[in-house]
């Protein structure tokens, strides 16, 4: 049962049906105004998702996530000075092989139109101001953008997330100053990512339009989607996980994604590590909200960015790509991610282009 | 002889040597504070460029440029509602053929680092503000950007330039309101341009590091560069013309590009039209400054954007691409241009990625 | 009965009690997305405000408001080039007399703290970014502000409102370009307004904490408040009308002020004109929402700014001033309004200071 | 001899004439790009200011300035939680007495028009964008402003300057976070400063139009100006020191104020402390540039703000006020400073209004 934001109810209810999904973890909200006291420890929410295929996410604790810090760490793997992290998995031969995937020559955007109107899921709208119009005799403009959050399609730089005062590779947090990050800024990917993109369309694999907000995606789900699409995610790939977020929004209206958002459960982290992907993207923010791990709000961001050095693509729009993949009967394609070169930036708005 | 900005001297001097380039057009300044009276009609500037290969730009008048309006017009060519202009030259088969050019899998940025410091060639620096740092426990930021001008690598939308109150396709100028352009915004290229890129490196063809600011490039120059690179610019290509602007800046320091900037002479317009390129880019702004055409400040922008519907890429950095092309011994490659989807926007900052 | 925004119900209900306030005008919403068709002509809303003192606003039509255009016009009154409008009512002798009102030497702000968080009544929050912090060794910052709307205490310039394509004094609307207003910008009040301020505290006069959103204030209400405060609004005064908006918000939470906001009914306009005030301010936006006049959304803004040349102070916070006036047993004081000098600006955020 | 910016020459030259001003301190530049190595230790610059009245600034060292830290400290003077500093000197009776100074009722701005164009003395212009124009049917706008620097008339908050990791009252520097200052923000002066203003017009006292950039003002100069104006700066006053900066700029064009700017010599600090002023303002930034104290770039800012808790008004325009004072034959007046209430802000643009 879908609960719109602001009227979220937490019920302890266990559905006896064998395959029903039970999200039995203590719910933890994301957001700066959320207190630990809001975590109703022991609460259980049963959702009537009687689909037999979705995996049940294993119970994970903060200690488990903490253990990933060392077991999944890539610190030092590409040298002590490395600032590219998992982007190192992408080697020129992967790029060349990805280009060879282009058949039809059809290009599709994976980005949303920049959102300039405030909404419950767009707390900091892009400001777009015209500085030349009919009255000046030419068109010109300015825009101001804070790419993070839940509205703008963007690439997270490795300086975005800290863990116990450290960034990827062990840099101290004070490399992130009010004049920009002196290490791990988004400019380190200045030459872009040109790679094989793989779309795992989870709702399509489940036969639904969109995942309900808050749905946790498991390794099992990823592998079901792989099997359905006859593709295997591998070294140097950009993995794009579609949850159907925007289709859900079309049908149900906007809600507060900080409270409920479909995404990957933390237990997917070892799988992401093993598959050696170069980049991870989603139409959400990769992390499921709530995280289903007590006291850990953003395990994918935290372990992914800090321990693994995995850049993330947040708030993509994968609906047109899903349509194109279905029409072309494929799930792998050439993908180009071209961040703006903002020295010391923590993110860049991007428009990743898939070419099939 | 190179004259730094603000001490520009206009000399009437004709060099008797047979091949010396004489820029004998009346000099016209660009910029909103420039009056017609500043156009020293009849002035001649002789430059000691004793290279025998550069073409002499033909004398063009405003009437000649005006005639291009009809002779080079693409209005209606792709339907009355067309908003893509020359981007229509790029068809899926061109995209697929471009992808097949990738051999090594080497990607190179064609953009400058966003320029956040004021300079004579950066009157409106990008504002970059951090909203999360070591004191907040995460990295986050905001930036404000006015992409036009002479500092930011950007894609000009077709709503950028008006001609006698009209835009491409005959739209009236009042489609460009203070709330954005209701037609021809940069969002019309939302799926990006994935095409064959061709680099014509003019200074390399001439055996120099960089063209002197103000140098007008002619059709002859373009064809010399084509011959040298063993490439022919054709339908659906993105043509990138390198002038060596940033190398010149490294050697001579910044100057006011509104006064002097190497670029294409207006007489290249029929050639650009005939070659059916999809997009035109440069490390300058494609237009040479001054334009060498009395009373016409920006013939490439005006005829290109308004009559032809040709999107432009301004202020690229093509130095790394030139190096890569030289190393890989080629001048054609896969190029991806991925503008941000800003509805009604007049431009987008971009980071075009060449893949060789 | 107070109806929260978004669940506004329009009822035709006439309360038989003798003094009950019936807002029987056709309700007209304010806001750019509101169509004339949304005006439920003939609808009547009865509110259970059983206060016997509030006046019943007379029925006004668009034709009545239109007639004010000439009957209340100040065009030409202070010369054809005048850009100060009613601020001309304030003469040096008024300023000197106002200064003589200071007794205790107590200063009170009439402004809200700049609102940096989004809310239903703050669609365009002030952006406040730090550019120097502990990591830089000094404090510095930047802010971006769009003063109009319903959140920021600001002074409306005379170029803010058009009427049939004209501004105050008959200037054509095209003086307001995308590069600023060439006439009637906020800079015309660069030397500030130092005047007698008079607070008319309507809820206090009625014995309530705050007016219900949507309450229309009438001439009768203003005069009751005058009598209660033993003051008479006169030539050169700055009239501040308190509705108790922020106290209501403390008690009931935020709502959409575009739908319902207490303020002056259009029938107050002749009174404002006759009293020759220099400036009008309120904790709302002076106009009541809905306006109670079919097809006229903002009669106070329209007639006041365009016909009379009356600058407005919107979204003030008059609660502390009301407290101070009560404690000092007075309603008149020295008031200083000091707009930022933004050439061609349509508004300035202000912090008017009352000194008692 | 006036040296334009960028061609500053440092000469060791001692003028033998008895009254010639010798600025014999080691010159220290201000600005973030300035290295200690640029301080030509021992260099002496002799200026041909053969006016007999200006005082010679005493030689001060960093140790002397450091000693002011304790001798002039106001820490704890108004309680441990005090956030108003010297503004505490202003008591209601001072405000009332100041209001009584108003005679003519003439108001004069002390602010510059907000500077929206880049210049050597305006590295971060105010961005002013129109969001409503003739094409929308109303006037509306937005502006972005970084008040510090050398162009905008602004009030420095006490959180602006740190000294050895501390702010006024001993707060640690980490109260200034990327989300604003949690202490000593500009909002602490929300009720404004309504006080006696005293203008000391130094060039007028010397019989010149404007002080040469770089001129250090001494206690002797201040007292000469007091005597000439027949006024004595005292408790609770806002002292405004005019250097004639903008008149100089009109005559000589813009220059880099970070290199040379007339202002108070550090030796004025004990005098400012003893006089118990509430606020200090200038048409420069109060500090003379260079400071004439080796290794101390901004002694007035540092001692004034951190030790004394003295808010500063920078970059005022005092020319109109000087004219008015001359015409009205007075140097003291009512002054109202009304900062915007920006919580945690380090400054506010202001338009102080003098009323005579």
pLDDT tops 90 at residue B184: yes
Say which of A118, A124, A130 has its CB closest to residue C178.
Answer: A130
Question: Whole-angstrom Cα distance, residue A38 to residue A185?
Answer: 34
Q: Does any CB of chain A come closer than 8 Å to the CB of residue C141? A: no
Task: State percent of chain A over pLDDT 70.
Answer: 85
Chain C interface includes B142 (CB < 8 A): yes
What is the pLDDT, as a whole number, of residue D56? 83
* DSSP conformation letters of C243-265: --HHHHHHHH----TTT-B-EE-
* Cβ contact D129–A142 (<8 Å): yes
What's chain A look like in SS3?
A: CCCCCCCCCCCCCCCCCCCCCEECCCCCCCCCCCCHHHCCCCCCEECCCCCCCCCCCCCCCHHHHHHHHHHCCCCCCCCCCCCCHHHHHCCHHHHHHHHCCCCCCCEEECCCCCCCCCECCECCCCEEEEEECCCCCECEEEEEECCCCCCCCEEECCCCECECCECHHHCEHHHEECCEECCCCHHHHCCCEEEEEEEEEHHHHHCCCCCCCCCEECHHHHHHHHHHHCCCCCCCCEEEEECCHHHHHHHHCCCCCCCCECEECHHHHHHHHHHCCCEEEECCECECECCCCCCCCCHHHHHHHHHHCCEEEECCCCHHHHHHHHHHCCCEEEEEECCCCCCCCCEEECCCEEEC
Please name the residue of chain D whose CA is at the shortest distance from the CA of residue B182.
D135
Contact D356, D232 (CB under 8 A): no
Per-residue pLDDT at C53: 54
Closest-CA distance of chain B to residue A133, Å: 5
Percent of chain B with pLDDT over 90: 84
What percent of chain C clears pLDDT 90, i.e. is strictly above it? Answer: 84
The two structure tokens encoding residue A24: 């039995």
Query: What average pLDDT does this structure show over C277-293?
Result: 97
pLDDT of residue D121: 97
In this prediction, residue A10 has a pLDDT band, given cuts at 50, 70 and 90, of very low
- Which chain A residues contact residue B132 at CB under 8 A? 148, 176, 346
pLDDT confidence of residue B16: 31
Task: Using a CB–CB cutoff of 8 Å, tell me whether A118 touches chain C.
Answer: yes
Q: Is the pLDDT of residue D11 over 60?
A: no
C343 touches D at CB < 8 Å: yes
Give, rounded to a whole angstrom, the gap between the first and last alpha carbons of chain B: 37
Contacts of residue A144 in chain C, CB cutoff 8 Å? Answer: 127, 144
Percent of chain C with pLDDT over 70: 85
For range C270-295, the mean pLDDT = 97
Q: What is the pLDDT of residues A18-45, one digit of tens each?
A: 222 323 222 222 222 223 333 333 233 3
H/E run at residue B249: helix B245-252
pLDDT band at A56, cuts 50/70/90? confident
Among partner residues B181, B347, B355, which is closest to A95 by beta-carbon distance? B355
B347/D308 Cα distance (integer angstroms): 50
Check residue D279 and give its pLDDT. 98
| Interface with B, mutate which of C33, C116, C133, C139 (most B CBs under 10 A) | C133
Q: Assess D116–A contact: CB distance below 8 Å, yes or no.
A: no
Percent of chain D at pLDDT exceeding 90: 84
Q: State the best of D117, D130, D139 to mutate against chain A, taking most chain A CBs within 10 Å.
A: D130
Residue D10 pLDDT exceeds 80: no
Per-residue confidence (pLDDT) for residue A23, from 0 to 100: 31
Residues 162-191 of B with CB under 8 A from C: 178
- B134 and C135: CB-CB below 8 Å? yes
Question: What was the ipTM of the complex prediction?
Answer: 0.88
- Interface check for A123 against chain D (CB to CB < 8 A): the answer is no
C141 near D CB under 8 A: yes
Asked whether the beta carbons of A315 and A110 are under 8 A apart, the reply is no
Would you call B96 and A113 a contact, using CB atoms and an 8 Å cutoff? Answer: no
The answer for residues whose C-beta is within 8 angstroms of residue B12's C-beta and 6 or more apart is: B42, B43, B44, B45, B46
Residue B236 clears pLDDT 60, i.e. is over it = yes
Residue D214 has pLDDT above 90, yes or no: yes
* Closest chain A residue to C131, measured at CA: A178
Report CA-CA distances (Å) from A3 to A19, A260, A261, C191: 21, 9, 12, 56
Which chains touch A (3+ CB pairs under 8 A)?
A: B, C, D
pLDDT of residue B4: 34
- Residue C124 with chain A: CB contacts under 8 Å: 118
Q: How far is CA D35 from CA A71, A278, D40, D294, D297, in A?
A: 46, 42, 11, 12, 11
* pLDDT tens digits, one per residue of B41-94: 323 333 334 444 577 889 999 999 999 999 999 999 999 999 999 999 999 999
**Terminal-to-terminal C-alpha distance of chain A:** 37
CA atoms C289, C290, C293, C294: torsion sign: positive
Closest CA to A340 of D179, C243, B5, B114: B114
Token look-up 């320029």 returns B115
pLDDT tens digit sequence for A112-158: 999 999 999 999 999 999 999 999 999 999 999 999 999 999 999 99
In chain B, residues with a C-beta closer than 8 Å to the C-beta of A104 are 92, 96
User: How high is the pLDDT of residue B56?
Assistant: 83
State mean pLDDT over C29-34.
Answer: 28
pLDDT, tens digit (0-9, with 9 covering 90-100), for D13-27: 333 322 223 232 222
Q: What is the pLDDT of residues D169-191, one digit of tens each?
A: 999 999 999 999 999 999 999 99
Q: Would you state the pLDDT for residue A220?
A: 96
- The residue among D24 and A268 whose pLDDT is bigger is A268
pLDDT at C27 over 70: no
Give the tens place of pLDDT for each residue, D295-334. 999 999 999 999 999 999 999 999 999 999 999 999 999 9
Instruction: Quote helix, strand, coil % in chain C, to nearest 5.
Output: 25, 20, 55
Nearest to B133 among C133, C142, C144 (CB): C133
A contacts of D179 (beta carbons < 8 Å): none
Q: Read off the pLDDT of each residue in C134-142 and give the average, rounded to a whole number.
A: 97
| CA–CA dist B328, C75 (Å, integer) | 73
Whether residues D132 and B178 touch (CB distance < 8 A) is answered with: yes
Q: Which of D127, D133, D142 sits opposite A135 (nearest CB)?
A: D133
Question: Looking at CA atoms only, how far is residue D170 from chain C in angstroms?
Answer: 14
Which residues of chain C have a CB within 8 Å of the CB of B130?
Answer: 129-130
Residue C105 tokens, joined = 């030497």
C109 vs C105: CA distance, rounded Å: 13
pLDDT one-digit tens code per residue, A230-262: 999 999 999 999 999 999 999 999 999 999 999
pLDDT value for D97: 98
D21 against A79, higher pLDDT: A79
Q: What does the pLDDT read at residue C56?
A: 83
Q: What integer pLDDT is reported at residue D53 of this predicted model? A: 54
pLDDT number for residue C20: 27
The percent of chain D in helix, strand and coil, each rounded to the nearest 5, is 25, 20, 55
Min mean pLDDT across A55-59, A129-133, B210-214 is at A55-59
Q: What subunits touch chain B, counting only 3 or more CB pairs under 8 A?
A: A, C, D
Report the pLDDT value the prediction gives residue B34, as an integer from 0 to 100: 30
Cα–Cα distance measured from residue B287 to residue B265, given in angstroms and rounded to the nearest whole number? 7
- Can you read off the two tokens belonging to residue D52? 């007999």
Q: Which of the given ranges, B301-315, D1-15, D33-47, has the highest pLDDT on average?
A: B301-315
State yes or no: pLDDT of D37 exceeds 80.
no
């Amino acid at each position: 049962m879908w609960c719109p934001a602001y009227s979220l109810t937490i019920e302890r209810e266990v559905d006896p049906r064998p395959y029903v999904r039970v999200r039995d973890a203590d719910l933890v909200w994301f957001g700066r105004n959320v207190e630990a006291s809001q975590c109703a420890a022991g609460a259980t929410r049963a959702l009537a998702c009687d689909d037999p295929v979705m995996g049940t996410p294993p119970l994970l604790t903060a200690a488990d996530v903490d253990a990933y810090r060392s077991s999944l760490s890539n610190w030092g793997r590409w040298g002590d000075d490395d600032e590219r992290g998992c982007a190192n998995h992408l080697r020129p031969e992967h790029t060349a092989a990805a280009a060879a995937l282009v058949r039809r020559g059809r290009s599709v955007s994976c980005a949303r139109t920049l959102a300039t109107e405030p909404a419950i899921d767009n707390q900091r709208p892009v400001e777009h101001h015209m500085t030349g119009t009919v009255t000046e005799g030419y068109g010109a403009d300015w825009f101001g953008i804070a790419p993070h959050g839940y509205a703008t399609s963007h690439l997270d730089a490795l300086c975005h997330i800290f863990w116990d005062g450290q960034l990827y590779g062990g840099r101290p947090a004070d490399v992130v100053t009010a004049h920009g990050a002196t290490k791990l800024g988004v400019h380190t990917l200045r030459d872009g990512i040109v790679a094989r993109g793989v779309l795992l369309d989870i709702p399509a694999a489940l036969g639904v339009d969109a995942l309900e907000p808050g749905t946790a995606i498991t390794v099992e789900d990823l592998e079901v989607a792989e099997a359905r699409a006859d593709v295997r995610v591998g070294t140097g790939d950009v993995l794009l996980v579609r949850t159907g977020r925007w289709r859900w929004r079309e049908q149900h209206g906007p809600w507060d994604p900080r409270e409920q958002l479909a995404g990957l459960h933390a237990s997917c982290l070892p799988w992401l590590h093993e598959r050696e992907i170069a980049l991870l993207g989603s139409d959400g923010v990769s992390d499921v909200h709530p995280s289903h791990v007590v006291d850990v709000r953003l395990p994918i961001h935290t372990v992914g960015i800090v321990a693994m050095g995995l850049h993330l693509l947040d708030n993509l729009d994968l609906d047109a790509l899903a349509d194109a993949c279905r029409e072309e009967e494929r799930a792998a394609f050439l993908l180009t991610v071209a961040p703006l070169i903002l020295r010391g930036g923590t993110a860049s708005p991007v428009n990743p282009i898939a070419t099939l």
